[in-house]
Structure 1
Amino acid sequence: MTATLIPPVSATDGRPAHRDPNVLRWLGAYASSMLGDSVYYIALSWAAVQAGSPAQAGVVMSVSALPRAVLMLGGGVLADRLGPRRVVIGSDAVRCAAVLAVAALLFLTSPGLWPLALLALVFGTVDAVFLPAVGALPARITGKDQLARVQGMRGLAIRFANVVGAPLGGLAVAAGGATAAFGLAGLLIAVSLPLLVSVRVRDLPADDRSGAREETPWRDLKAGLRYLRGHRVLAPLMLAIALGDLGFVGPFNVGLALLADQRGWGASGLGWVLAGFGAGAGTASLLLTVRGRLPRAGLVAACAILAGSVAIGALAYVPSLVAAVGVALLVGLLAGLSGAMCGALLQTQADPAYLGRVTAVSGLVSLGLAPLSMPFAAAAIAAWGIGPVYVVSAVVCGLGGVVVLCAPGLRRAELPR
Structure 2
Amino acid sequence: MTTEPTAGALPREPLGDPRLLRLVAGQGLAGLVDALFLIWLTLFVLELSEPGIATGLVLVAAALPRAALLLPAGVLVDRLGPAHVVTGASWLRFAVLLALCALVTFTSPSVTAVALLAALLGVADAAYFPAALALLPAVVPTEKLPRVNALVQGAESGGDLVGPAVAAGVIAAVGFDATLGGIAAMAALAAVALDTFVRAVRRDEDAGHAAGPDGIDGEQPSSARALGAGLGYAWREPLVRGMLAAVALINIAVVGPVIVGGAVLADQRLGGAGSLGVVLSGFGAGSLAGSLSAGGRPPARRGWAVAGGVAAIGAGVAGLAAVTHVVAATAVVSLVGLGSGFLGVVVVATLQERVPKHLLGRVLSLVVLATVAFDPLSYLIAGVLLPYGTTTLFLVCGSAVLAGAALVAASPAIRSLR
CA separation of 1:223 and 1:98: change in aligned 2, threshold 3 A: same
Question: Aligned residue for 1:164?
Answer: 162
Question: Aligned AA for 2:414?
Answer: L
Show CA shifts across 1:159-189 (max 9, x none): 2212333343234423442221221111110
Aligned-residue offset at 1:190 = 0.4
Question: Aligned residue for 1:144?
Answer: 142
* Secondary structure, aligned partner of 2:322: coil
Distance (Å, rounded) in 2 between the aligned partners of 1:266 and 1:71? 39
Name which of structure 1's ranges 72-81 and 119-128 shifts more when overlaid on structure 2.
Answer: 119-128
* Match 2:275 to one of 269, 272, 287: 269
Question: Aligned residue for 1:174?
Answer: 172
CA separation of 1:13 and 1:50: change in aligned 2, threshold 3 A: same
Contact 2:7 2:141 in 1 (8 A): no
Correspondence 1:224 to 2:230: yes
Correspondence 1:322 to 2:338: no
Correspondence 1:259 to 2:256: no
Aligned-residue offset at 1:204 = 6.5
Show CA shifts across 1:302-358 (max 9, x none): 122124312321211123333222222222223322332222222222112211101
* Match 1:373 to one of 373, 378, 394: 378
Contact 1:239 1:403 in 2 (8 A): no
Distance (Å, rounded) in 2 between the aligned partners of 1:257 and 1:124? 27
* Secondary structure, aligned partner of 1:267: coil
| Structure 1: runs of 5+ lacking an equivalent | none
Distance (Å, rounded) in 2 between the aligned partners of 1:190 and 1:386? 43
Aligned-residue offset at 1:8 = 4.7
- Superposition CA RMSD, Å: 2.2
* Match 2:36 to one of 35, 39, 42: 39
Question: Aligned AA for 1:219?
Answer: R
Tell me the number of residue pairs that the alignment of Structure 1 and Structure 2 aligns: 409
Contact 1:79 1:356 in 2 (8 A): yes
Distance (Å, rounded) in 2 between the aligned partners of 1:87 and 1:50? 35
Question: Aligned AA for 2:334?
Answer: L
Identical aligned pairs, as a percentage?
A: 33
Distance (Å, rounded) in 2 between the aligned partners of 1:79 and 1:121? 20
Distance (Å, rounded) in 2 between the aligned partners of 1:98 and 1:134? 19
Matches within 5 A, 1:236-255: 236-255=242-261
CA separation of 1:216 and 1:368: change in aligned 2, threshold 3 A: same
Name which of structure 1's ranges 337-346 and 226-235 shifts more when overlaid on structure 2.
Answer: 337-346
Aligned-residue offset at 1:366 = 1.1
Question: Aligned AA for 1:54?
Answer: P
Aligned-residue offset at 1:300 = 0.8
Question: Aligned AA for 2:411?
Answer: A
Question: Aligned AA for 1:140?
Answer: A
Question: Aligned residue for 1:362?
Answer: 367
Show CA shifts across 1:204-254 (max 9, x none): 644474517642111110111111111131111111211122111122121
Name which of structure 1's ranges 85-94 and 278-287 shifts more when overlaid on structure 2.
Answer: 278-287
Contact 2:28 2:153 in 1 (8 A): no
Contact 2:3 2:210 in 1 (8 A): no
Question: Aligned residue for 1:52?
Answer: 49
Contact 1:241 1:400 in 2 (8 A): no
Contact 1:243 1:399 in 2 (8 A): no
Name which of structure 1's ranges 61-70 and 326-335 shifts more when overlaid on structure 2.
Answer: 326-335
* Secondary structure, aligned partner of 1:63: helix
Distance (Å, rounded) in 2 between the aligned partners of 1:97 and 1:11? 30
* Match 2:286 to one of 280, 284, 288: 280
* Secondary structure, aligned partner of 2:238: coil
Show CA shifts across 1:357-415 (max 9, x none): 01111111211124421132123212x1111121111122123322322221211112x
Contact 1:172 1:184 in 2 (8 A): no
* Secondary structure, aligned partner of 1:13: coil
Matches within 5 A, 1:328-347: 328-347=333-352
Question: Aligned AA for 1:238?
Answer: L
Contact 1:72 1:360 in 2 (8 A): yes
What is the TM-score normalised by the length of structure 1? 0.91
Aligned-residue offset at 1:256 = 0.9
Question: Aligned AA for 1:353?
Answer: H
Contact 1:204 1:353 in 2 (8 A): no
Question: Aligned residue for 2:397?
Answer: 393
Contact 1:298 1:341 in 2 (8 A): no
Distance (Å, rounded) in 2 between the aligned partners of 1:369 and 1:204? 38
* Match 1:116 to one of 114, 117, 134: 114
Name which of structure 1's ranges 171-180 and 281-290 shifts more when overlaid on structure 2.
Answer: 171-180
* Secondary structure, aligned partner of 2:110: coil
Distance (Å, rounded) in 1 between the aligned partners of 2:131 and 2:117? 21
What is the TM-score normalised by the length of structure 2? 0.91
Question: Aligned residue for 1:72?
Answer: 70
* Match 1:410 to one of 407, 411, 414: 414
CA separation of 1:86 and 1:176: change in aligned 2, threshold 3 A: same
Question: Aligned AA for 1:107?
Answer: T
* Secondary structure, aligned partner of 2:273: helix
* Match 1:211 to one of 206, 212, 215: 215
| Structure 2: runs of 5+ lacking an equivalent | none
